[in-house]
Structure 1
Amino acid sequence: MSDLTLTYQYIDATVLEDIEQMTHPINRNAIVKKYGRMLTKGEVSCFLSHRKIWQEVIAGGKLAVIFEDDALIDEDIKHFLDCLAMEPVAFDVVLLGHSKKDYRHKKMYHFLEPLKNGEPLGTYTLGRGFKTWPSGAVGYVITPAGAEKLLAASRTICCVLDDWPYYENKGVLVKEVRPLLVWEDFVNIASSLESDRQTPARKNFLFLARVVRGVMRNIKSRLGN
């Protein structure tokens, strides 16, 4: 972070010993209905940690950038933030990265996941993906107004932290940047479990399907749809 000439501070994570002893309201029925399971202790701890940061963003009264401790930050992040500060862009949250995506294949990922209704911002593009999903909170820009909205939407926890479509339904204006500027350093700690669950033939088929889908999305993106 020092090499990027950014002012920063570390925030200690909230660590729950037992979900049952948590005082923050949580809607277990809604969560199980939505995801088919209850949140883990780690997921709830992560959620409470980010809520603590959102409160600090409001208190500070300024736009902030939040990175999780496993974030790999692109050296161009400072340039992007300068562009964001100079242009009148409407947003509450700008996602800088997606979780569990391999930075070694970022060119292919950007092709497979273009933005719709993209708006230029210097050499970058802001918009929203063709399909939105809980895509991680490894790195994002947030405004004080956005932090207030996220806190209001999570007075009772009803979702995983990074369920951005859920927050959008609550009035939070979420955008993404391309190219992505933050990647999760999961490569060094990745489990082979998911890979083992798929046969090579199935993995090849799914990749081909993603390429075809990526072509169609890029065509739509260029047409402004």
Structure 2
Amino acid sequence: MKNQPECKIYVVSLLRATDRRKRILSQMLSLSLDFSFVDAIDAKKIDPEELLAHVDASAVMLRRGRMLTAPEIGCALSHRKIYEDIVRSGRSGAIILEDDIQIGSGFEDVMKYFCRAGPSIAVERAIYHLGALSRPYGRYLMLRKRSRRTAGGNAYFAEWIGGISPEACGTFGYYVTRAAAESFLAEEKLRDVADAWSLWANRVSGKIFVSVPAIVHHPEDLSDSEIEPDRRYLLELQKAGRIFSLARNVYYGVRARSLRYFVKPFVERLL
């Protein structure tokens, strides 16, 4: 499938991640998809002070209660490189994938949708998440299915209901419009992790759409993740970190299940 300019695909990948690059390349070739590798910023090779210079420390501490890790900063800056290219080239938007994803059925239908709809949605500040429903939290997401946007085949996009729904997080697969890219670049420094979509949406009146069903899938095994080890290390350093982590997991687990069984059915029927 020959991509049109409106449906450019970028794959974010560390230059040293040769095995991951081979796997994603194999998937792309099997679908005859044109794409471009974007060399991710390797936080291990950059001075920490240089990375921190790109961060709004006060905003991050207010939001997170901790500073971003070096890999989190590198991830956000890598995606920002793509936003800059979208705006500079005048594209309507682009699909952004990370190199450890698995492409599912329906991807080509969604590609055709963005080729067709890209120019008309370019002015929307919108993120189209391609894999949120593949994650464990996906079953708890609340979506406006009555105003769905049909993408072709069995796939459609439904708007995420902010405020009460769990986050539709993850940068492993999404479409970003040109207007959304511009809004990210309007902020000179990073205010949070790359996938703090809800925070971004609240600031700029943006929208988050979720693919139903998921058409890209993220691996459950995070043992080779660049980001997760540092996050876990920070938890260990926190006083009573394990107790805090356990209490947090119990709280969010109970909250998510309550919303799923008692709130989600009513809200999605209403909206």
Aligned pair partner of 2:223 in 174, 189, 194: 189
Partner of 2:260: 214
Aligned to 1:79: 109
Q: Partner of 2:4 in structure 1?
A: none
- Say which of 73, 77, 97 aligns to 1:67: 97
Q: Counterparts of 2:114 and 2:266 in 1: how far apart (Å)?
A: 27
The 1:223/1:128 distance shift into structure 2, 3 A limit, reads same
Give the secondary-structure state (helix, strand or coil) at the position aligned to 1:162: coil
Give per-residue Cα distances to partners, 1:83-131, cap 9 Å, x unaligned: 34445555532111239925xxxxxx65432313652233323211442
Aligned counterpart, 2:148 = 120
1:37 matched to 2:84: no
Whole-angstrom CA distance in 2 between matches of 1:212 and 1:54: 37
Q: 1: distance between equivalents of 2:112 and 2:100?
A: 24
Give 2:211's aligned residue.
177
Q: Structure 1 residue 147: deviation in Å?
A: 1.1
Which structure 1 residue ranges, 5 or more long, are not aligned? 103-108
**CA offsets per residue over residues 48-94 of structure 1, 9 Å max, x none?**
11111111112332221000112222121111232344455555321
State the TM-score, normalized to the length of structure 2: 0.66
Q: Aligned residue for 2:34?
A: 7
Code of the aligned partner of 1:125: F
How far has the Cα of 1:144 moved from its partner?
A: 1.9
AA paired with 2:218? Answer: E
Paired with 1:15 and 1:147, the residues of 2 have a C-alpha distance of 22
Residues 91 and 175, structure 1, Cα contact 8 Å, conserved in 2:
no
CA separation of 1:86 and 1:70: change in aligned 2, threshold 3 A: same
Cα separation, partners in 2 of 1:99 and 1:24, compared to 1, 3 Å:
farther
CA distance in 2, matches of 1:99, 1:125: 11
Over residues 145-186 of structure 1, what are the superposed CA-to-partner deviations in whole Å (9 max), with x where a residue is unaligned?
221111113x11111111112211232333222222222213
Unaligned runs of 5+ in 2: 1-27, 236-241
What displacement does 1:132 show? Answer: 4.9
What is the rounded CA distance, in whole Å, between the counterparts of 2:222 and 2:139 in structure 1? 24
- Further displaced range: 32-41 or 182-191: 182-191
Deviation (angstroms), 1:37: 0.6
- The percentage of aligned residue pairs carrying the same residue is 23
Contact 2:51–2:74 (Cα < 8 Å) also in 1: no
Corresponding residue to 2:199 among 152, 166, 171: 166
Alignment partners' CA distance in 1, 2:207 and 2:246: 36
Match of 1:106 in 2: none
Using a 3 Å threshold, how does the CA distance of structure 1 residues 118 and 13 change in structure 2: closer, same or farther?
A: farther
Cα distance change on mapping 1:28 and 1:118 into 2, 3 Å: farther
SS across alignment from 1:11: strand
Deviation at 1:19, TM superposition (A): 2.0
Q: Distance in 1 between matches of 2:174 and 2:108?
A: 13
Could you tell me which residue of structure 1 aligns to residue 85 of structure 2?
Answer: 56
Further displaced range: 182-191 or 67-76: 182-191
TM score, norm. by length of structure 1: 0.78
Equivalent position amino acid for 1:48 in 2:
L
Identify which of structures 1 and 2 has the higher relative contact order when contacts are C-alpha pairs closer than 8 Å and 6+ apart.
1
